[in-house]
Amino acid sequence: MANSYFKFKQFVVHQDKAAMKVGTDGVLLGAWVNVGNAVNFLDVGTGTGLIALMLAQRNSNACVTAIDIDKDAVSQASDNFAFSDWTERLKIVHNPLQEFAENNMEKFDHVVCNPPFFNNAYKSVNHSRNLARHTESLSFEDLIANAGRVSNSHGKLSVVLPFDAERVFIEIAEKYSYTPSRITRVRPTPHKDYVRTLIELSKDAADGIVTNEIVIEDKGRHGYSDDYIALTKTFYLKM
């Protein structure tokens, strides 16, 4: 059973109510997102509120609106925001992105999402976990189209995806006038294939795509690479 909370250096994430617990994907994205030149962030499918909290820690000017379709996740994130040092800069809304985009008038500098991964995969009996993990609740096209609707003219969209979804995600994004500006591909160990990709899309025409890779562990189990430590050390207690 997952712990009921996860303690970081500057905040604690309680996760007993939320379907999706703290994991490497969320930490990677929250640490990787370019937070410069942005004030208004939208965290789509916030779950425990982890990524929103990370953005607030990294950017002292950031105001983050977090949305989620699951009422238990909204309750959990609300509590985690209230217990943090940045509660006045964090807001939680119980809405699917499609409905939020229809009714919201605010425009965002940067939309961030750790989206549902699995399409046509086996589903668990946990309805909240299904919502969090399956693309039927938020397809790639829905995410990209509605991110565009709520973003300003220079807006960015950053996501973490399975590596094998990278190409199709970028192809869909290009239909909505988003172009990739940064891509970091993730290996669990030096000799394993890529398992995740971090993608930043921009409404501004990119001068080129900055691409690189990161290895999670290169010194055995829990032997984290220097690059991974450098990216996450402001968050994890033991780094």
Predicted confidence band of residue 2 (pLDDT cuts 50, 70, 90): low
Residue 121, pLDDT above cutoff 50: no
Q: What is the pLDDT of residues 38-92, one digit of tens each?
A: 999 999 999 999 999 999 999 999 999 999 999 999 999 999 999 999 999 999 9
Q: Determine the average pLDDT of the residues in 88-100.
A: 97
Residue 8, pLDDT above cutoff 50: yes
CB 10 within 8 A of CB 237: no
Predicted confidence band of residue 207 (pLDDT cuts 50, 70, 90): confident
Domain ranges of the chain: 5-232
Per-residue buried b or exposed e for 191-215, using 16+ beta carbons within 10 Å of the residue's own CB: eeeeebbbbbbbbeeeeeeeeeebb
Residue 166, pLDDT above cutoff 60: yes
User: Considering the domain 5-232 in this protein, what is its CATH number?
Assistant: 3.40.50.150
